[in-house]
Chain A
Amino acid sequence: MTAVITAPITIPYARFSENSAHWFAARALGEMLEAAHLDKASIDGLCFSSFTLAPDTAVALTQHLGLSLRWLDHIPMGGAAGIVALRRAVRAVEAGDAHVVACVGADTNSPEAFGATLGNFSRFTQDAVWPYGAGGPNASFALLTSYYMREYGARREDFGKLCVSQRENALSFPPALMRKPLTLDQYLNARPIADPIHLFDCVMPCAGAEGFLVMSAQRARDLGLKAVRVLSTCERHNAFPGDPIQMRGGWLLDRDELFARAGVRHEQIDLLQTYDDYPVISVLQMEDLGFCGKGEGPQFIRDHTFTNDGSFPHNTSGGQLSCGQAGAAGGFLGMTDAVRQLTGAALGKPVADAKLALVSGFGMINYDRGLCCGATILATS
Chain B
Amino acid sequence: MERPFLQPHSRAALRMTEAAAAGRFELQQCRKCGAVQYPPRDACHQCLSVELEWSVQSGAGRMISETTLFHSHLAQFKDQLPLRIGLVKLQCGPVALAHVEKSVPVAPADVEVRMRLQEGYAVLVAR
Contact = CB atoms under 8 A, between A and B. Distances in A.
A128 B124 CA distance: 9
Contacts of B72: 133-135
B121 interface: yes
Interface in A232-252: 241, 244-245
Interface string B32-73: 000000111000010000000000000000001111111111
B103 to A, nearest CB: 18
A209 B10 CA distance: 33
Given A119-B73, A128-B39, A133 B64 contact: no
A124 interface: yes
B122 to A, nearest CB: 9
Nearest to A244: B89
Interface string B107-127: 110000000001001010000
A147 B38 CA distance: 21
A143 B65 contact: yes
A135 B80 CA distance: 12
Given A128-B38, A244-B89, A192 B66 contact: no
B107 A127 contact: no
Interface string B86-109: 110100000111110000000110
- B13, B70, B85 pick with most chain A CB within 10 angstroms: B70
Interface string A121-149: 00110111111111110110011101100
- A119, A128, A192 pick with most chain B CB within 10 angstroms: A128
Given A135-B85, A139-B85, A147-B65, A118 B9 contact: no
A197 interface: yes
Nearest to A114: B73
B9 A133 contact: no
B70 A133 contact: no
B8 A126 contact: yes
Contacts of A150: 65, 107-108
B95 A133 contact: no
A209 to B, nearest CB: 24
A11 interface: no
Contacts of B97: 128-129, 132, 367-368
B66 A367 contact: no
A153 interface: no
B71 A130 contact: no
A204 interface: no
A194 B9 contact: no
B71 A193 contact: yes
Nearest to A119: B5
Nearest to B97: A132
A367 B87 CA distance: 11
29 contacts: A119-B74, A123-B9, A126-B8, A127-B10, A127-B39, A128-B40, A130-B74, A131-B8, A132-B98, A133-B72, A133-B80, A133-B99, A134-B74, A135-B67, A135-B69, A135-B71, A135-B73, A138-B71, A139-B69, A143-B85, A146-B65, A146-B66, A146-B67, A146-B107, A150-B107, A191-B70, A193-B69, A194-B70, A244-B89
